[in-house]
């Protein structure tokens, strides 16, 4: 377990540093805000929040350092029980990283092309690709479900709820 | 009484009854599917709520809430995977009973106990909520600010792993909520000259991202893992007459226990169900049969966790403070459809509140009916392949985000917050804390500034007795409770690790 603890300690330091940076950034921006009126300040609340974040992120970094220091040297690779710990690359499988990136990229592209391409074609392609990411291999499902879901959602929201879903240049 | 009859007439109109039925059925399905929770169910329902009246939206939301809490028991019993955290205790005896070939009886007992617990809690809600709302009318901005501080300490209770991380996530949520126009004077903050940021980050896409899309990303990790197949034959659903008598003795006290615990912000169904389970086991004449398929071990947690539904709605509807994750999402959802929970709601829209109470009560009977009738269908629902289910949910998430302003920008917000939510989850930061910050931040700031404006900047008014100090004391107690809870979790984890090492 010591390898996991070291990983968690490092993660705490990295995330703590990110939050610390965010807190400092917010404090600087807050100090530049214009004060509109006496007694009531638009700086009060963001200042309280940023200072709180500053303190807690420092605490998280300190916790991360303590966690790492409490581990014996080389614990990440060979613990006392003789088991060789998995390096980070094996802990997070590459296939998952690829799926994750694929999901995010597909989502991003979808939000960019939905207006020019139209709701139905964009959604059918998105669903087909995401089904593939979730491991679907049966071809009839890969074709049938995105088409049916795309059409049903389109007509449900456009016809019944009158949401102006983009028609795109194809229609 | 006349008002309730009027509300009943309104709820049983075919359209409203259909909405309630859809809500309960949808809630049961979402609650039953492992990986999805009541929160996700309510979020997925939100796009549909834009197109109905507020009262209709409340009816539907109430149905989903109650249905999802019950639905969690189904997967706990059939595949030993609780659909919701509050169904974890149900699994202890539900799954062993299903393994003995009595899955039907386990589901039947869970359905009856859930209904009983739900009815008890709704009676409590109907009796107590209007009284508390009347009392809360005395609150001014300082009291409301103190109440918001107390509500924010609930973050501690959702931070099982680390209080520091929970508070950081909460502060992150509060910071996100400060982007855009400030809620009191309308001055811009942190917009970087981007016009879209003037209105801040819209709550619906943030909710969709943090709860639903992040969960879809989590589920990507399970691709390729084998899915547990539920049993095929589910028969003999109803318990015998003698078993029913015993059930009454169990569900009434545990339903009351769940209701009372549900009222306390920061407790929730999981605590109530485990507490009820241990109490029933302690008072049982056959404690050794618990964990091996004892029907009372199913009934107690189910009555308790469904009891929390009405209890949790008391502080939510009367004071506008959520007691747990699901009610925090409900609060956000209510605000999205334009309903601001709080005492004024009871004064200004009593008809809508009565309609909600009646529909919540009817939802319990629908759970009984749908639960008992659908026991043969439900195992098939659990067989839905993730490769079909999750892409469809993604489609719903995107269309939900789009329908807020008819803009792909909101879809992008949902996607970004989905990724943020995923990383928060993976590193032990509770996403619920972030949402609590996003929802309560503008309210807390509004009350703070209102207080300071009316008192010419006198901060001491924030501690005006007698009500405000009570909330600060409760906030302090809540933090101490959370710290003690975290210490207990660490102790238990240490014991488990020590045990494992000894075993090795």
Nearest residue in A to B445, CA atom: A45
Measured distance between the N- and C-terminal CA atoms of chain B, rounded to whole angstroms: 65
- What residues of B are in contact with residue A96 (Cβ under 8 Å)? 220-221, 223
Point out the residue among B48, B187, B418 whose CB comes nearest to the CB of A36.
B187
Which of A36, A66, A88 represents a domain boundary (last residue)?
Answer: A88
Q: Do both A57 and A122 map to the same domain?
A: no
- Choosing among A32, A47, A56, which should be mutated to test the B contact, i.e. which has the most B CBs within 10 A? A56
Residue B233 CA to residue B102 CA, distance in Å, equals 9
CA distance B198 to A74: 51
The interface residues of chain B toward chain A in range 413-432, judged by CB-CB distance below 8 A, are 415, 418-419, 427, 429
- Nearest-neighbour CA in chain B from A52: distance (Å): 7
For residue A148, is it within any domain? Answer: yes
A134 contacts chain B (CB < 8 A): yes
In 3D space, the residue among B470, B464, B438 whose CA is nearest the CA of residue B451 turns out to be B464
Q: Say whether both A31 and A54 belong to one domain.
A: yes
Structural domain includes residue A167? no
> What is the complex's ipTM, to 2 decimals?
0.86
Residue among A4, A46, A62, A105 with most chain B CBs within 10 A, to mutate: A46
In angstroms, what separates the C-alpha of A170 from chain B's closest C-alpha? 18
Q: Does B172 touch chain A (CB under 8 A)?
A: yes
- Is A121 a domain residue? yes
Q: Are residues A31 and A108 in the same domain?
A: no
Sign, CA torsion B475/B479/B484/B490: positive
Distance from CA of A116 to the nearest CA of B (A): 11
Cα–Cα distance between B48 and B66 in angstroms, integer? 18
Q: Which DSSP string do the residues of B401-461 spell out, in sequence order?
A: HHHHHT-HHHHHHHHHHHHHHHHHHHTT--HHHHHHHHHHHHHHHHHHHHHHHHTTT-GGG
Residues of B in contact with A20 (CB under 8 A): none
> Which of A169, A60, A48, A161 has the alpha carbon at shortest distance from A116?
A169
| Helix B431-454 with B163-177: angle, nearest 10 deg | 60
Which residue in the set B164, B385, B457 is minimally distant from A56, CB to CB?
Answer: B164
CB atoms under 10 Å from CB of A22, counted, come to 18
Residue A27 sits in the same domain as residue A98:
no
Q: Is B387 on the interface with A (CB under 8 A)?
A: yes
Residues A104, A130 within the same domain: yes
Q: Is residue A74 part of a domain?
A: yes
Q: Which residues pair with B189 in a beta bridge?
A: B180
What residues have CB less than 8 Å from B132, skipping those under 6 apart?
Answer: B314, B318, B319
Return the CA Rg of chain A. Answer: 25
Asked if B387 and A36 come within 8 Å (Cβ–Cβ), the reply is no
Q: A134–B223: do the CB atoms touch at under 8 Å?
A: yes
Euclidean distance between CA atoms B384 and B386, whole angstroms: 6
pLDDT in tens, chain B (504 residues): 777 888 888 888 999 899 999 999 988 888 887 767 777 888 887 777 777 888 888 888 889 888 888 888 888 888 777 766 778 888 888 888 888 888 888 999 999 999 999 999 999 999 988 888 888 887 888 888 888 888 887 776 666 567 888 889 989 999 998 898 887 777 888 888 888 888 888 888 898 898 889 989 988 888 877 766 666 567 777 888 888 888 899 999 999 999 988 887 766 777 788 888 888 888 888 888 888 888 999 999 999 988 888 888 888 888 888 877 788 888 888 887 788 888 888 888 888 888 889 999 999 999 999 988 887 787 777 778 888 888 998 998 898 888 878 889 999 999 999 999 999 888 888 888 888 888 888 888 888 888 888 877 777 888 877 888 888 888 888 777 767 765 665 555 454 444 434 333
Rounded to whole angstroms, the Cα distance separating B278 from B290 reads 10
Quick check: B118 and B309 in contact, CB under 8 A?
Answer: yes
Tell me the chain A residues in contact with residue B164 when contact means C-beta distances shorter than 8 Å.
56, 59-60, 63
Residue A82 belongs to a domain: yes
Nearest residue of B to residue A129, measured between CA atoms? B391
Q: Output the CA–CA distances (angstroms, integers) from residue A115 to A111, A128, A167, in the order listed.
A: 8, 19, 7
Taking CA atoms, what residue in A is nearest to B174? A49
User: Does A105 share its domain with A152?
Assistant: yes
Cβ(B296)–Cβ(B280) below 8 Å = yes
Distance CA B455, CA B473 (A): 23
**A-chain residues within 8 Å CB-CB of B398?**
107, 110-111, 123, 126
Residue finishing a domain among A68, A88, A108 = A88
Nearest to B406 among A34, A135, A163 (CB): A163
Separation of alpha carbons B73 and B273, rounded Å: 11
Q: Are B191 and B197 in contact (CB under 8 A)?
A: yes
Total Cβ atoms within 10 A of residue A96? 15
Q: How far is B248 from chain A (nearest CA, A)?
A: 44
Do A84 and A99 sit in the same domain of this protein?
A: no
A133 pLDDT higher than 60: yes
Contact assessment for residue B179 and residue B201, using Cβ atoms and an 8 Å cutoff: yes
Establish if A169 touches chain B: CB-CB under 8 angstroms: no
Contacts of B449 in chain A (CB under 8 A): 40, 44-45
- B455 neighbourhood in chain A, CB within 8 Å: 39
Residues of B numbered 100-119 whose beta carbons fall under 8 angstroms of chain A's beta carbons: which are they? none
Residues A21 and A47 in one domain: yes
With cut-offs at 50, 70 and 90, classify the pLDDT of residue A2: low
pLDDT in tens, B216-256: 998 888 887 776 666 656 777 788 888 888 889 999 999 99
Q: Is A11 on the interface with B (CB under 8 A)?
A: yes
Give the span between the Cα atoms of B20 and B26, in whole angstroms.
10
Longest pairwise C-alpha distance within chain A: 67
Q: Are residues A30 and A63 in the same domain?
A: yes
A108 to chain B: closest CA residue: B412
Q: Is B162 left (phi over 0), alpha (psi -120 to 50) or beta?
A: beta
| C-alpha distances in Å from residue B13, one per residue of B7, B19, B22, B351, B407 | 10, 10, 14, 15, 35
Q: Same domain, yes or no, for A31 and A107?
A: no
User: Could you say which of A103, A150, A163 has the minimum Cβ distance to residue B217?
Assistant: A103
How distant is the Cα of B35 from the closest Cα of chain A, in angstroms?
14
Q: Which helix (H) or strand (E) holds B188?
A: strand B188-189
Whole-structure pTM value: 0.81
Among A29, A40, A134, the residue with its CB nearest the CB of B190 is A29
The whole-angstrom separation of Cα B261 and Cα B273 is 10
For residue A12, the chain B residues in CB contact (below 8 A) are 427
Strand partners, A78: A84
Cα B318 versus chain centre, distance: 17
Residue contact A100–B217, C-beta within 8 A:
yes
Terminal-residue alpha carbon distance, chain A: 58
> What pLDDT is attached to residue A171?
54
DSSP class per residue in B89-111? HHHHHHHHHHHTT-HHHHHHHHH
Q: Which of A135, A145, A149 lies closest to B223 in CB terms?
A: A135
pLDDT in tens, B268-308: 777 788 888 888 888 888 888 888 888 999 999 999 988 88
B135 beta partners: none
How wide is the angle at C-alpha B379 spanned by C-alphas B376 and B383, nearest 5°? 140
DSSP characters over B107-118: HHHHHHHHHHHH
Tell whether A84 and A101 lie within a shared domain.
Answer: no
Domain C-terminal end among A88, A116, A144: A88
**What DSSP designation does B81 have?**
-
Q: Among partner residues B178, B216, B453, which is closest to A49 by beta-carbon distance?
A: B178
- Domain assignment of residue A142, yes or no: yes
Partner residue facing B387 (CB), from A104, A126, A134: A134
H-helix or E-strand containing B320? Answer: none
Structural domain includes residue A123: yes
Query: What is the residue range of A109's domain?
Result: 94-160
Using CB atoms, pick whichever of B213, B391, B415 lies closest to residue A108.
B415
Quick check: A49 and B171 CB within 8 A?
A: yes
| Residue A169 resides in a domain | no
**Does A153 touch chain B if contact means CB atoms closer than 8 Å?**
yes
Chain A segment 72-101 residues within 8 A of B by beta carbon are 81, 96, 99-100
Q: Given its phi and psi angles, is residue B291 left (phi above 0), alpha (psi -120 to 50 degrees) or beta? A: left
**Searching chain A, which residue's CA lies closest to the CA of residue B400?**
A157
How much of chain A is helix, strand and coil, in % rounded to 5?
70, 0, 30
Count of structural domains, chain A? 2
Q: How many residues in chain B?
A: 504
Q: Do A17 and A84 sit in the same domain of this protein? A: yes
Rounded CA-CA distance A77/A3 in Å is: 7
Q: Contacts of residue B445 in chain A, CB cutoff 8 Å?
A: 44-45
CA dist., res. B109 & res. B451, Å (int): 52
Hey, is A78 helix, strand or coil? strand
């Amino acid at each position: 377990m010591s390898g996991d603890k070291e990983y968690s300690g490092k993660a705490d330091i990295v995330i703590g540093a990110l939050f610390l940076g965010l807190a400092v950034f917010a404090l600087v921006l807050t100090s530049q805000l214009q004060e509109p009126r006496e007694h009531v300040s638009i700086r009060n609340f963001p200042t309280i929040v940023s200072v709180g974040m500053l303190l807690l992120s420092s605490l998280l970094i300190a916790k991360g350092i303590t966690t790492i220091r409490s581990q014996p040297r080389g614990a990440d690779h060979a613990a006392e029980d003789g088991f060789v710990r998995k390096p980070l690359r094996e802990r997070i499988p590459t296939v998952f990283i690829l799926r994750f990136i694929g999901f995010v990229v597909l989502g991003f592209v979808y939000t960019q092309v939905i207006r020019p391409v139209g709701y139905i074609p964009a959604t059918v392609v998105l669903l087909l690709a995401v089904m593939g990411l979730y491991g679907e291999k049966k071809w009839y499902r890969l074709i049938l479900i995105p088409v049916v879901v795309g059409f049903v959602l389109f007509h449900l929201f456009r016809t019944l709820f009158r949401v102006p879903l983009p028609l795109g240049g194809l229609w | 009484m006349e008002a309730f009859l009027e509300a009943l007439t309104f709820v049983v109109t075919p359209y409203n009854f259909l909405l309630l039925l859809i809500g309960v059925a949808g809630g049961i399905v979402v609650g039953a599917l492992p990986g999805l929770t009541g929160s996700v169910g309510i979020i997925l329902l939100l796009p549909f709520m834009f197109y109905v009246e507020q009262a209709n939206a409340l009816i539907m939301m109430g149905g989903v809430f109650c249905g999802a809490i019950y639905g969690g028991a189904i997967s706990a019993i059939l595949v030993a995977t609780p659909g919701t955290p509050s169904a974890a205790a149900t699994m202890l005896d539900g799954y062993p009973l299903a393994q003995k070939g009595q899955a039907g009886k386990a589901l039947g007992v869970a359905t009856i106990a859930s209904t009983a617990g739900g009815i008890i809690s709704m009676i409590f809600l109907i009796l107590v909520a209007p009284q508390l709302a009347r009392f809360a009318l005395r609150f001014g901005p300082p009291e409301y600010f103190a109440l918001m501080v107390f509500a924010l300490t609930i973050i501690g209770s959702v931070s099982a792993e680390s209080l520091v991380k929970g508070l950081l996530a909460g502060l992150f949520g509060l910071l996100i909520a400060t982007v855009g126009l400030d809620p009191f004077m309308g001055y811009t903050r942190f917009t970087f000259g981007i016009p879209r940021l003037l209105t801040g980050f819209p709550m619906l896409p943030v909710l969709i991202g943090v709860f639903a899309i992040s969960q879809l990303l989590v589920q990507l990790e399970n691709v390729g893992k084998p899915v547990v197949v539920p049993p095929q034959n589910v028969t003999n659903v109803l318990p015998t007459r003698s078993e029913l008598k015993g059930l009454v003795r169990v569900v009434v006290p545990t339903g009351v226990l769940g209701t009372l615990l549900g009222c306390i912000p920061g407790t929730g169904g999981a605590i109530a169900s485990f507490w009820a389970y241990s109490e029933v086991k302690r008072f049982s004449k056959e404690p050794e049969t618990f964990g091996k398929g004892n029907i009372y071990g199913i009934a107690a947690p189910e009555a308790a966790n469904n009891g929390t539904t009405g209890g949790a709605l008391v502080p939510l509807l009367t004071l506008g403070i959520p007691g747990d994750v699901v009610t925090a999402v409900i609060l956000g959802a209510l605000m999205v459809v334009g309903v601001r929970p709080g005492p004024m709601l009871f004064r200004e829209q009593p008809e809508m509140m009565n309609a909600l109470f009646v529909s919540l009560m009817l939802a319990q009977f629908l759970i009984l009916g749908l639960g008992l009738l659908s026991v043969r269908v439900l195992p098939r629902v659990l067989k839905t392949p993730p490769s079909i289910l999750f892409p469809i949910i993604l489609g719903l998430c995107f269309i939900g985000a789009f329908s807020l302003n008819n803009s792909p920008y909101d879809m992008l917000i949902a996607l970004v917050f989905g990724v943020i939510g995923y990383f928060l989850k993976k590193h032990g930061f509770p996403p619920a804390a972030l949402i609590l910050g996003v929802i309560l931040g503008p309210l807390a700031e509004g009350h703070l500034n209102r207080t300071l404006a009316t008192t010419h900047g006198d901060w001491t008014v924030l501690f005006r007795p007698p009500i405000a100090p009570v909330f600060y004391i409760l906030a302090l107690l809540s933090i101490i409770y959370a710290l003690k809870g975290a210490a207990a979790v660490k102790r238990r984890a240490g014991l488990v690790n020590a045990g494992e090492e000894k075993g090795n």
